[in-house]
Amino acid sequence: MRQIILDTETTGLSAENGDRIIEIGCVELLNRKLTRNNLHHYLNPERDSHEDALKVHGISNDFLRDKPKFAQIAEELLAYLEGAELIIHNAPFDVAFLNKELERLGKGPITQYVAAITDTLAMAKDMFPGKRNSLDALCDRLEVDNSGRTLHGALLDAELLADVYINMTRGQDALLIDAHTSSSNETGGLSLVDLRQFDLPVIHATDHECAAHEEVLKQMDKSSGGKVVFRALENSVA
């Protein structure tokens, strides 16, 4: 499983109104392991950044004047991203800019080149409803060291997001052991742990926990107009 954590910095907030990408940072995960096969480019956007954007990324217009244009790195970028799952924080923003740059070159949208796009901001909102879910907030919540982040930078932010994503999805690899561990049951470079070798305890809910669960179901049933799936299943079994 190949995943690419991607981040961009831009001249402003609106791709539709002519703002351009000035930096792209990509970090590769292979089977949830950092490979250090990163991709990073500063780009000449052929226009100046807005003052508010400059305050965010701190990348001066003069610094970018001799950098390559997006057209010059487009093929390299698409080859690097080919077939991977893209993981982006607030994906609609970055995808809109990538699609606009590709459109200028007569190419199709980024979804034609990648397997899927995952938005970690949407994931975070589901996991931590009602809380701040910026990259900095997630770093603090998940104990990811972001002390070196005084300004936004595409590669640094992609590296931080990789750690955040791995922490957010840690439960997904609970049944996997290190890829280098010898086993005759290897799958995709990783090995499945046979849980039959363990005597796993069964922990039953207490009466108090059952009552609390029942109360939550009642509230859900009420707010959904009687459409809670759990209730439908109970009735079908009965």
Half-sphere exposure of 106 (CA within 13 A, CB side): 0
Q: Is 152 in the active site? A: yes
Look at the alpha carbons of 61, 13, 93, 167 in this order and tell me if their dihedral is positive or negative. positive
CB 26 within 8 A of CB 158: yes
Catalytic residue among 57, 152, 204, 213: 152
The β-bridge relationship of strands 85-88 and 2-10 is parallel
Q: Which residues pair with 3 in a beta bridge?
A: 29, 85
Look at the alpha carbons of 18, 25, 131, 85 in this order and tell me if their dihedral is positive or negative. positive
Look at the alpha carbons of 12, 16, 22, 25 in this order and tell me if their dihedral is positive or negative. positive
Q: How far apart are the first and last CA of the chain?
A: 42
Token pair of 28 as six digits: 């590769």
Q: In what order do the strands lie in the sheet with 176-177?
A: 176-177, 190-192, 186-187
Q: What residues are annotated to the active site?
A: 152
